[in-house]
Structure 1
Amino acid sequence: MVKVVNDQDFKQETDTGVTLTDFWATWCGPCKMQSPVIEALEQDRGDVKFTKMDVDQNPETPGAFGIMAIPTLIVKKDGEVVEKLVGYQTKDQLNAVLDKYTKTPA
């Protein structure tokens, strides 16, 4: 299950390895479409940690990242933001992005 994070534990939960955080809200239609994609990816990928944050309940973190629209997905590698994706993303699109940060170059 995708871990729910808040303003207090976001940094700690996303500072190691490759993480993808889904910033969403209960009233957001595209967020409801994005959620099952994230859940499916989590089942497929043991090399990425998946988290989600409700922007209405946690305004500090989305504000710090300049999130103006949802869903927004932030990919971090070892605590550094490496990708920021705004709007609905397909499973294939997300796999391609995550592969850039998890695959070892040949």
Structure 2
Amino acid sequence: MNELTIVEIEALDGATILEFGTDWCGYCKAAQPLIASALAERQDVRHIKIEDGKGRRLGRLFKVKLWPTLVFLKNGQEVGRLIRPDSAVLISEALDKI
């Protein structure tokens, strides 16, 4: 999992998903196959996992309250988000917007 700064995130070019969560979170584990399925044919989308939790400022900057939270960015700007996604279709639909 990466630890980026807000400046680095805002400088990202193209389509990006930021995935906030932890390795031990049950919801995060359950979402992994859904995320992988939605991204399977979307090589144009950058997927960055960000370890969140106590002392992690980036999650607070994005107002993350539940895991996993997927933040969809276009050229470093948020265009959508999903919290605890339970469907690859929902993720794919959000990807279509970026």
TM-score (norm 1): 0.77
Structure 2 counterpart of 1:66? 63
Structure 1 counterpart of 2:13? 16
Contact 1:33 1:88 (8 Å CA) reproduced: no
Structure 1 counterpart of 2:22? 25
Residue 42 of structure 1 pairs with residue 39 of structure 2? yes
Q: Quick one: which amino acid aligns to residue 92 of structure 1?
A: V
Give aligned-pair identity as a percent. 27
Between the two proteins, the alignment pairs up a number of residues equal to 98
Counterpart-to-counterpart distance in 1, 2:45 and 2:27: 22
Aligned to 2:97, what secondary structure does the other structure show?
Answer: helix
Q: Unpaired runs of 5+ in structure 2?
A: none
Structure 2 counterpart of 1:77? 74
Structure 1 moving runs of 4+ over 4 Å:
none
Deviates more, 1:87-96 or 1:12-21: 12-21
**What is the Cα-based RMSD across aligned positions, in Å?**
2.4
Contact 2:20 2:49 (8 Å CA) reproduced: yes
Contact 2:20 2:51 (8 Å CA) reproduced: yes
Contact 1:7 1:59 (8 Å CA) reproduced: no
Q: Unpaired runs of 5+ in structure 1?
A: 102-106
TM-score (norm 2): 0.83
